[in-house]
Structure 1
Amino acid sequence: MPDFEPIAGRYLTVAIDGVDHRIFLEEAGQGLPLLCLHTAGADSRQYRHLLNDAWVTERFRVIAFDMPWHGRSNPPDDWWLTRYRLTTAGYLATIRAVWQALGLDRPVVLGCSMGGAIVLKVAADYQDELTGIVGLESAAYAPGRYNELLHHPAIHGGELCASYTYGLNAPTSPEASRRENWWYYSQSGPGVYQGDVHYYSLDWDAREDIKTIDTARCRVALLTGEYDYSCTPEQTEQAAAAIPGASLTIMKGMGHFPMIENYRDFRPYLLEALKQML
């Protein structure tokens, strides 16, 4: 018999700010919805280990989707007329449009890096619609990552972005896993990573918004790798301090991409955070 993984992938048309987008998503499991957000310039393949984790899928309906312009999702039909730039408002609208199109009832939203940042705003704005958030490498403010060379005609953008992010892995993470993430990044569309970092480093600032999160209404678990220098442990500690009742874990031996760079060692941290959501 074929050795199929228990992951189903399909396409969904979602209206975002009045424009239809063809979104690719994959899912596995049943139970409380767990909506997963990939990192800047990447796609939902980063969550393949989580989607294959029986403990998780016995308790959660895990859904990971590719943002417009990313992975297997399409850009808008007139994409060549504009330069891709993600904004906080556009990102928030996309996430909410997806969970509404899927009819998810009080989901948990989990995100990493730029996804770990936006889940803070998701919780601040829509805490009565959620069970909780799990933020991986979450910062309420993260300037300094934007670089014009990330999209330049003289530079191979795929290899640059892949190598730029490769350094964010922990040195102790398995090389094969670090290179797997490199491979995903190398396939990003031209200018997509830079457009995401535009949001992350130039548009994003939720330092005041997160003070409104009520963890009695929306649970908050934050986990950051000790080796992360894009979202440092100190940045996540500052975010957690502004949210009374939030749980905070600094993960030993982890870098910026825990769910793909070293799932084996990340898993115990993840399961503890997910147990808080049940």
Structure 2
Amino acid sequence: MSYHSWSDLSTQLSDAIPKANEAGEHDGQLKAFITSNAITAPVTFSIKAIGSNTAILVTVTNGKAQLYTGSSENALFQWPEFFRKTPPAPYQIYWGIEHQSCCLRGNRADYVKGIFRMNIKQERVEIAGDQAAFIRWTHVWRRILELLHDAYAGPTPTNDEPELGVDYIVGRYFYINSPGWGRCKVFYEQSGEGDQDIVFLHTAGKVARQYHEVMNDDRMRQECRMTAFDLPAHGRSFPYEGYWPASMAGQVCLAVAIRYREVGAGGAIPLQGSDYLNMDRQCYDRSPYVNQALFNPEWVYGLMAPTAPLVNRQLIWHLYSAQAYGIFHGNLDFYFGGWDGRSRCPVYMLTGEYDWSNTPAMSQATCDKIPGAKYKAMEGLGHFPATENPKVFVEYCHQPYPKD
């Protein structure tokens, strides 16, 4: 693939534009996003390569999105990688590019660096124009880019996801009493009759349902007794009175490892864990001006591998859209700012290659600091491996780290 040919996107993708328009006419997800009487005036955004005088523009009206070529402000991206049939990490989505610069025009003619600072460093990426509008329309431009990708390169091949005929998970409520927090009614689920106990912790902004496919897996049920629960104020669990808890499962596993004697843990397997994250905070996941039910799932959508079954990616989108106000933001408070993740019990770390929020390199660096710890990158998986592609994830559960 010649990078020079991508210096003018409108020319390079000229044949794909009408195909994308045709696909958009029949795309149920896009129609659901843009069919609303609240869209009272056309909204236009564009994508282009640096140095080009033309761009691909998208104008959205109530019930319709139209792609065409024209002139626009600069908006930069590593387009050749994005338009591969199977994009390599982190080019599977715009969010995956680090060091984005946001140019706010109008009353504020200044550059705001790092609004979407991630943990993969990429220069020459810019969001130009109305920053608030960019945030409000994340779900639309993400879907438009997917349609344009598929029109040009064809759909990314995905793994098959067999349908289950029987569900073996049983759930119930119980009360916990925590020092300093008080009493709370918590929901948990269990499955399996094996000898090994495993407790699954859900990721920030998610619930225990993300482990359903793993907890129904035949091998896992035969070998393990599995428990997954919704943290207080998450999913089906009730909130503590007056408190909003925080979580991040990979980092929580490292915290459990540090205090393993106190909590009685025999080992920890952090998924997407590291001892320090230096991502800058952003406020859009708890803003009165942004619809969190749209923004939050879009922000994490690109953390998944593009080869994961679509139905599983859509499930993760749904779960992140269903949380109460401020929960996701509070979750992220747990680990932003850095903390000491060195531990004293067996630690086996797994991280998906498509995760740009907690990268494989960051997990490896943490593993190197823990005597006796093991680490392995999970190929073809992202930030939510147990939900994205359960069958692939289960294989890593049975062989989570390289033998010495």
Question: Corresponding residue for 1:158?
Answer: 293
Question: For structure 1, which segment, 173-182 or 19-28, has the greater mean C-alpha deviation from structure 2 after superposition?
Answer: 173-182
Alignment pair present for 1:254 and 2:388: no
Give the aligned partner of residue 224 of structure 1.
351
Query: Looking at CA atoms only, which structure, 1 or 2, has the larger radius of gyration?
Result: 2
Gaps of 5+ in 2: 1-164
**1:105-124 alignment, distance < 5 Å:** 114-124=248-258
Match in the other structure for 1:22: 185
Q: Which of 260, 263, 266 matches 1:126? A: 260
Query: 1:53 — aligned with what?
Result: 217
1:126 positional shift: 1.5
Rounded Cα–Cα distance in structure 1 between residues aligned with 2:347 and 2:306 = 28
Distance (whole Å) between structure 2 residues aligned to residue 45 and residue 206 of structure 1: 29
Does the Cα contact within 8 Å between 2:260 and 2:266 map onto a contact in 1?
no
Query: Residues 269 and 8 of structure 1: is their aligned pair in 2 closer, same or farther, counting only changes over 3 Å?
Result: same
- Report the alpha carbon displacement of residue 76 of structure 1 after superposing the two structures with TM: 1.7
Letter in 2 for 1:63: T
Assess if the C-alpha contact under 8 Å between 2:214 and 2:391 holds in 1. Answer: no
Structure 1 residue 120 displacement after superposition? 0.8
1:4 positional shift: 4.4
Contact kept? 1:162, 1:183, Cα under 8 Å: yes
Whole-angstrom distance in 2 between the partners of 1:25 and 1:142: 29
Q: Which amino acid aligns with 1:260?
A: T
Asked if the contact 1:132–1:220 (Cα under 8 Å) also holds between the matched residues in 2, the reply is: yes
For residue 269 of structure 2, give the secondary structure of its aligned residue in structure 1: strand
> Hey, what does 1:137 align to over in structure 2?
272
Identity percentage over the alignment? 33
TM normalised by structure 1 equals: 0.80
* Conserved 8 A contact 1:251-1:269: yes
Tell me which protein shows more helix as a share of its residues: 1
Look up the SS of the partner of 2:339 in the other structure. Answer: coil
Whole-Å separation in 2 of the counterparts to 1:251 and 1:28: 25
Counterpart CA distance in 2 for 1:42 and 1:56 is: 22
- 1:247 CA drift (Å): 1.5
Q: Is the 8 A contact 1:85 1:198 kept in 2?
A: no
Structure 2 equivalent of residue 10 of structure 1 = 172
> 1:119-178 CA distances to partner (integer Å, 9 max, x unpaired)?
111111124722211111111111215321111112111221111111111122222111
The residue type paired with residue 25 of structure 1 is Y
Within the alignment, does 1:235 sit opposite 2:362 as a pair?
Answer: yes
Is 1:171 the counterpart of 2:306? The answer is yes
Deviations 1:167-208 (A, max 9, x none): 111122222111111111110110000010111213x4124x
Matched, 1:62 2:189: no
Structure 2 letter corresponding to 1:125: R
1:190 counterpart SS class = coil
C-alpha displacement at 1:267, in angstroms? 2.0
Under a length normalisation based on structure 2, what TM-score does the superposition of the two structures give?
Answer: 0.56
After superposition, the Cα gap between the structure-2 partners of 1:4 and 1:174, relative to the gap in structure 1 and judged at 3 Å, is closer
When the two chains are superposed, the root-mean-square deviation of aligned CA atoms in Å is 2.0
2:186 touches 2:229 (CA, 8 Å); kept in 1?
yes
The equivalent residue for 1:101 is none
Secondary structure of the 1:135 match is coil
| Alpha-carbon distance in structure 2 between the residues aligned to 1:246 and 1:146 | 29
Tell me which of the two structures has the higher relative contact order, counting C-alpha pairs closer than 8 angstroms and 6 or more residues apart.
1
Residues 120 and 206 in structure 1, CA contact (< 8 A), matched pair in contact too = no
Q: Secondary structure of the residue that 2:335 maps to in structure 1?
A: helix
Q: Post-superposition, which runs of at least 4 consecutive aligned residues in structure 1 deviate over 4 A?
A: none
Aligned-partner residue type, residue 233 of structure 1: P
SS at match of 2:204: coil
Is 1:71 the counterpart of 2:235 in the alignment? Answer: yes
Q: 1:270 maps to which residue?
A: 397
Which residue matches 2:340?
206
* Distance apart, 1:85 and its partner CA: 5.4
Cα distance in 1 for partners of 2:261, 2:398 equals 22
1:265: how far off? 2.0
The total of aligned residue pairs comes to: 236
